[in-house]
Amino acid sequence: MDITVAVTWVVTALVAFFVAERLGKKLIPVLHRLKFGQTIREEGPAWHKSKQGTPTMGGIIFIAAMLIAAVLAILVSQFFLPVKAVTAAHSLGDVTKLFSGLILAVGFGAIGFLDDFIKVVRKRNLGLTSRQKMAAQLLVSAAYAVTMYLTDATRLYVPFYGYWEAGLWFIPIAMFIIVAMTNATNLTDGIDGLCASVSLVAFLFLLVLCGTATMGYGIITSAMAGALAGFLVWNFHPARVFMGDTGSLFIGGALCAVAFGLEQPFLLALLGIVYVAETLSVMLQVSYFKLTHGKRLFKMSPLHHHFEMSGWSENTIVVVFCLITVVAGALCLVLVW
């Protein structure tokens, strides 16, 4: 790897970390004053009631930090460095994937922000209805997928097979993966530091995969990793701020943006094994409850609540789930290389 590229990524991550850490210190008191506190679900673990009123919508912290660091790094690389984020050698599809990916993540962050805003205004744990949220997610994912299709950026890597030119199939495949991943990251955000920690690990492995790709994706990925690390200063247990749907949906969008940019979206099923397990636990719990007329497969879903109810501390769950993601990320590297 070019030393210029490596240094740029490290500096970008450090800038994102510093901005997120400073923003947290400034923004959390503001969220307190605005009374933008989290409303805890009645059906959640009883001890979560103590978290009632903790500021939410904290995803704004790492979204702003990521965008500031990424934009600065892209501009510096374009005007001052020998290795550019975007060069004349890149096709229209390459450039479109890079910037459309950013718009995709911001679009999902906006959906989450609206959902969170309605929750804090109405002082309840329900923002957008499920239909409203799904319609918005389908619209944003469809806009991204169609844009990729129109610019012929539809090549995907299929493990054990190789590269596949998906053509028109790219649109439904992309929409399914994006909507599934963003909702999965949303479900994973249930205890202090979990979603941010697991996602930080996932982005670090994606950064390794960026070693053979363009500077641009490395900048976005390193900025995301640094911003999440800075956010965790305030989100580790006991959390002083929650990311809310603003942050969790943005993370899902960003993961998809990078994965599709690297033409590796199917790897998300393995790299995001924790997100997948969280989603499956909810689906299995609901199905089993209906089939058995009231019996439960897990003590509580999503899966992290099952382990909480089994006596695991929040920090233990975060560590174990992060280690699982490390193993999954290592297997992803083996599959690709």
pLDDT, tens only, 140-156: 999 999 999 999 999 99
Give the range of the structural domain holding residue 256, as residue numbers without chain letter.
3-264
Question: pTM of the predicted model, to two decimals?
Answer: 0.94
Q: State mean pLDDT over 237-258.
A: 96
State residue 51's pLDDT score.
72
Read off the tokens for 23.
């923003």
Q: State mean pLDDT over 255-275.
A: 96
**242/54 Cα distance (integer angstroms):** 7
Question: Strand pairing of 162-165 and 155-158?
Answer: antiparallel
Q: Using the CB atoms, write b or e for 207-240: b if 16+ within 10 Å.
A: bbbbeebbbbbbbbbbbbbbbbbbbbbbbbeebb
Q: Is residue 179 part of a domain?
A: yes
Q: How far apart are the first and last CA of the chain?
A: 15
Q: Is residue 11 part of a domain?
A: yes
Closest CA to 149 of 129, 166, 131, 124: 166
pLDDT bracket for residue 135 (50, 70, 90): very high
Q: Is residue 155 part of a domain?
A: yes
Q: State mean pLDDT over 158-164.
A: 92
Name the least confident of 5-14, 180-189, 209-218: 209-218
Determine the residue type at 138.
Answer: L
- Pairwise pLDDT comparison (308 vs 93), residue with the higher score: 308
pLDDT bracket for residue 209 (50, 70, 90): very high
CA atoms within 13 A on the CB side of 22: 10
State residue 96's pLDDT score.
85
Q: Is residue 279 part of a domain?
A: no
Give the highest mean pLDDT range of 40-49, 81-90, 317-326.
317-326
State residue 337's pLDDT score.
80
**156/263 Cα distance (integer angstroms):** 5
Q: Is residue 335 part of a domain?
A: no
Q: Is residue 330 part of a domain?
A: no
Q: State mean pLDDT over 14-40.
A: 88
pLDDT bracket for residue 214 (50, 70, 90): confident
pLDDT bracket for residue 41 (50, 70, 90): low
Q: Is residue 304 part of a domain?
A: no
State residue 123's pLDDT score.
67
State residue 86's pLDDT score.
79
Count structural domains, the chain. 1
Whether 213 shows a pLDDT value over 80: the answer reads: no
pLDDT bracket for residue 32 (50, 70, 90): confident
Q: Is residue 288 part of a domain?
A: no
pLDDT digits (tens, 9 = 90+) for 79-134: 888 888 877 556 677 788 899 999 999 999 999 999 999 888 776 667 788 899 99
pLDDT bracket for residue 43 (50, 70, 90): low
pLDDT bracket for residue 46 (50, 70, 90): low
Read off the tokens for 6.
């490596």
